[in-house]
Amino acid sequence: MKTVLVVDDDPSIRLLLRDELCDLKLNVVTAVDGEEALISFEENDIDLIILDLKMPKVEGDEVLKIVGQKSNVPVIVYSANIESYDGLDKLHKNVYYVEKSSNLDDLLCLVKNTINV
């Protein structure tokens, strides 16, 4: 079973994504901020990260940079701040972008295609 790390400081988004990803028969690990995300990344065999950018403690771009230095695990940046995407591909070679929306179709389609679910 493939494992997805969902990183978002909004508990309702974490819960929604966890439920949707579990429906796809994926194992889901969640983190409330970048600091917790980095710990979860080290402690689990992660196949994909869904990452918000604006978070407390350690922001998403720093998580992306650190993960990119250690691994080629694909990261989907899932943020309402679409203008913040500029330059993130320099921090990690395997990064994708989806703007936050109430419609999860684009995100779920990208998840399926990225990790072959």
For the chain, the domains span 3-115
**pTM, entire model:** 0.92
Using alpha carbons, select from 90, 95, 104, 89 the residue that is nearest to residue 48: 95
Using alpha carbons, select from 51, 42, 56 the residue that is nearest to residue 94: 51
The pLDDT of residue 116 is: 85
Q: Which residue has the higher pLDDT, 45 or 84?
A: 45
Q: Which CATH number fits domain 3-115: 3.40.50.2300, 1.10.630.10, 3.40.50.10070, 3.30.70.100?
A: 3.40.50.2300
pLDDT digits (tens, 9 = 90+) for 16-73: 999 999 999 999 999 999 999 999 999 999 999 999 988 888 888 899 889 999 999 9
Above pLDDT 70, what percent of the chain?
91
**99 band by pLDDT with thresholds 50, 70 and 90:** confident
